[in-house]
Structure 1
Amino acid sequence: MAKLEINRRYFLNKSAKAGLGLVIVPHFNIIKSKPKLYQTVIGHGDFKYRVHKDWGVLDRSRTPIKNCHEMVMDSRGRLIMVGDDTHNNILIYDKSGKLLDSWGIRYNGGHGLTLWNDGSEDFLFICDTNGESLIKTTTNGRELMIIEHPSKYGAYNENDAFKPTESAIAPNGDIYIADGYGSNYILQFTKDGEFIRKIGEGRGIGQHQFQTAHGICIDYREKGQPTLLITSRATNCFKRFTLDGIFIEQIDVPGAFVCRPVIHNSNLYSGVCWSSETDFEEGDMNTHPTRTSPKSGFVTILDKNGKVVSNPGGVEPHYKNGQLQRMVQKDEIFKHCHDVCVDNDENLYVCQWNANNTYPMKLERV
């Protein structure tokens, strides 16, 4: 494990550039007109939203993006997004859509973004799938710790694939890494980066296996009993485990290739990257399925009991004899919803993958 104590402003000198290859790009505040108020309202039941498609649009010549992968809100109410454009991996917005800051030029696989507060300060955990690492930083870009390929800790063989897609931080600071594009294990480390255990049985459709363990979070909704909620995207479900890796239950969302689970108050939110009108055979359950419906992404919302209550951009959830029926896109608003962030007013901010370099959009709760 490599530990780095680096001052963000110090990156600009030549020694920092040579030693780390990490440079901070000065940000530009873009003067924006007020976003157009779209009349389109999507969603179902008590969870309906007005679409603000232009909310996060910036000057592409100064702040370009490829894929908007994930977004979190910090303790100051700022919205922090990670992407894979190395001009500016991190974009920091205010709630009006104004750019406040941008930094990071070396995370060319910038994918997962988790925020953790130790009681006094916010920290970010960035998964770099191409860099095969998890990086802990301050919110202004100072790197504090890097967890590298699991073979360095005795968890994998050197030739085992490792492409981390998401992380989650337990109440005691333990770090859980979802190896969603690699070997499909969950790896648990201490807050100091010491390896504890490997959770699951790798890729597959068994109870303890995952088909694209794309996302992970700590679910605190059951007081005194936090659990791990882990995505198995290609099998259209979330799986719940104890913090030490014991399987508890599976929550099926048929048709929906869900990304990471996001908990806000009593509900679970998730971006749906693809949706499918037909079942997949095991051989088709790869990282990026090829037989999905051309009508794909939407957002799905589940209540505390695991019941889908709304699908903004998708068909209305329907249960028949207690079984949730297949869910697909209805409104062609999204291309591939990769993440959803919920603010304190319960507005949603949606990040999209492979969506023609689309900036995040806002869904205003109505």
Structure 2
Amino acid sequence: MQDGKTDRIDFLETTTKATAGAVVMPHFNINSSKPKMCEMVIGHSDFEYKVHKEWGNLDPAKTPVNNCHEMIMDSKGRLVMVGDDTHNNVLIYDKSGKLLDSWGIRYKGGHGLSLWNDGEEDYLFICDTDGAIIKTNMDGRELMFIGHPSEYGAYEKDEAFKPTETSIGPNGDIYIADGYGSQYVLQFTKDGEFVRKIGDGRGTDDGQFQTAHGVCIDDRDKENPTLIVTSRAGNCFKRFTLDGKYLETISLPGAFPCRPVIHGENLYAGICWSSAVKFENGVAESHPSKNNPNSGFVTILDKYNKVVSNPGGTAPKYENGELQPMLQAEPVFNHCHDVCIDDDANIYVCQWNADKTYPIKLERV
């Protein structure tokens, strides 16, 4: 499974160390002597959520999943998920968790999913880590295929290309994060013509990435949209102009983020794991330099890119203006791979390497 392998390699290169954080206990329904997961409330400040762990459950004999990688909401309010089980790469839910449709039988590396509306119709961009970007309509009809960048003069033939995410710019340009490959963001026109490579490949310098796992257009400033790129093993996001100039780093110490998701004034992300926590009889113990599995949570940043809530994680803490390492606080999640936010500010969480579990709903309270 590519997620764990890539970051374990990169983790050896990063000097990020995490320290023990305060354990935030979940809130339970006081009327129940035996609390259930659906009665758990997690999060902080104005961003608290009731956990509905069985929201997306389906019959695995009929509609199996392997890794639930990413999810978007379309213009009709439907929740569309992509995964890597070729029985049905794409699942389409309504907000109640009812399955409306499923399709996709050949995306063995089904990983990234982005939505683009041209003003009239919704389209999906699917990243297959086997080396392709596929544009489809909502019924799964393939409309565009982008293969190895050597075909467009962007890479040499022997350079790895394992794309993990796309984002579509205001003019329809396609930004592709090569997160498991050569660690660049590739920019194409909406017609599939190569424009440029963004970033300086793998590394720790400002313009470099350690697992460029996600990418999004940050349009919170309508007059000045920018590009946010994940550097997952670097525990941060990096901001660029739409033509590829590095602007800043948004540090998330202790956290290994997947793709950034913009909703309203906030930035959300699934944290695949935190680097310094494990559970022994329900008690968190610190392991400062160990990349620990099954330790994901969700993080939420405000319009100033300050962390305001970590559902499933420790409360964000700043000392002298610096964010302190963030850890998993409750074993609600395994590896949070993506989040989708609906019109009511509820969060839907997709997980990687989580025993083939379906998406979880976090209901805003």
TM-score (norm 1): 0.86
In structure 2, give the amino acid aligned to 1:110: G
Q: Which residue of 1 aligns with 2:105?
A: 105
In structure 1, the gaps of 5 or more residues are 1-35, 279-289
Q: Is 1:195 aligned with 2:194?
A: yes
Q: Which residue of 1 aligns with 2:31?
A: none
Counterpart CA distance in 2 for 1:332 and 1:209 is 32
Matches within 5 A, 1:353-364: 353-364=352-363
Distance 2:346 2:222 in 1: 25
Q: Does 1:242 align with 2:236?
A: no
* Partner residue in 2 for 1:334: 333
Pairwise mapping of residues 4-43 of structure 1 onto structure 2 (< 5 A)?
A: 38-43=38-43
- Does the 8 A contact of 1:295 with 1:330 survive in 2? no
**CA deviation after TM superposition for structure 1 residue 209, in Å:** 0.3
The SS at the match of 2:259 is coil
Residue 224 of structure 1: how far off its partner (Å): 1.0
Aligned-partner Cα distance in 2 for 1:352–1:291 = 21
Between 1:223-232 and 1:294-303, the stretch displaced more is 294-303
The answer for the alignment partner of 1:71 in structure 2 is 71
Per-residue Cα deviation, 1:258-284 (whole angstroms, up to 9, x for no partner): 000000000000000010129xxxxxx
CA distance in 1, matches of 2:190, 2:225: 17
TM-score (norm 2): 0.86
What amino acid does structure 1 have at the position aligned with 2:199?
Answer: G
2:39 aligns to what SS in structure 1? coil
Greater RCO between the two (CA within 8 Å, min separation 6)?
2
- Which SS does the other structure have where 1:234 is aligned? helix
Equivalent residues of 2:182, 2:202 under 8 A apart: yes
Distance 1:168 1:91 in 2: 20
Structure 1: distance between partners of 2:49 and 2:246: 35
Note the C-alpha offset of 1:223. Answer: 2.0
Unpaired runs of 5+ in structure 2? 1-35, 278-288
1:291 Cα deviation after fit: 3.5
Question: What is the one-letter code of the residue matched to 1:220?
Answer: D
Quick check: 1:127 aligned with 2:119?
A: no
Secondary structure of 1:141's counterpart equals: coil
Number of the residue aligned with 2:307: 308
| Maintained 8 Å contact 2:63/2:87 | yes
Cα deviation digits, residues 82-140 of structure 1 (max 9, x gap) = 0000000000000000000000000000000000000010000000002x000000011
SS in 1 for 2:203: coil
Contact kept in structure 2, 1:216 and 1:229, CA below 8 Å:
yes
Contact 1:295 1:329 in 2 (8 A): no
What is the distance in 2 between the residues matched to 1:295 and 1:197?
A: 37
Distance 2:178 2:37 in 1: 39
Partner secondary structure for residue 359 of structure 1? coil
Give SS of 2:38's match. Answer: coil
Give identity over the alignment, percent.
Answer: 71
The residue type equivalent to 2:110 in the other structure is G
DSSP 3-state at the match of 1:260? strand
Matches of 1:322 and 1:293, distance apart in 2: 27
Determine the structure 1 residue equivalent to 2:136: 137
The Cα of 1:293 is off from its aligned counterpart by 2.5
Q: Distance in 2 between matches of 1:87 and 1:263?
A: 30
**CA deviation after TM superposition for structure 1 residue 295, in Å:** 5.5
- Provide the secondary structure at the position in 2 that maps to 1:38: helix
| Residue in structure 2 matched with residue 55 of structure 1 by the alignment | 55
* Native 8 Å contact 1:295 1:328 kept in 2: no
2:143 partner letter: L
Q: Tell me how far 1:66 sits from its aligned partner.
A: 0.2
One-letter amino acid matched to 2:118 = D
Q: How far apart, CA to CA, are the structure 2 residues paired with 1:65 and 1:37?
A: 21
2:294 and 2:333 in contact (8 A); partners too: no
Residue equivalent to 1:178 = 177
Partner in structure 2 of residue 255 of structure 1: 254
**How far apart are residue 292 of structure 1 and its match?**
1.2
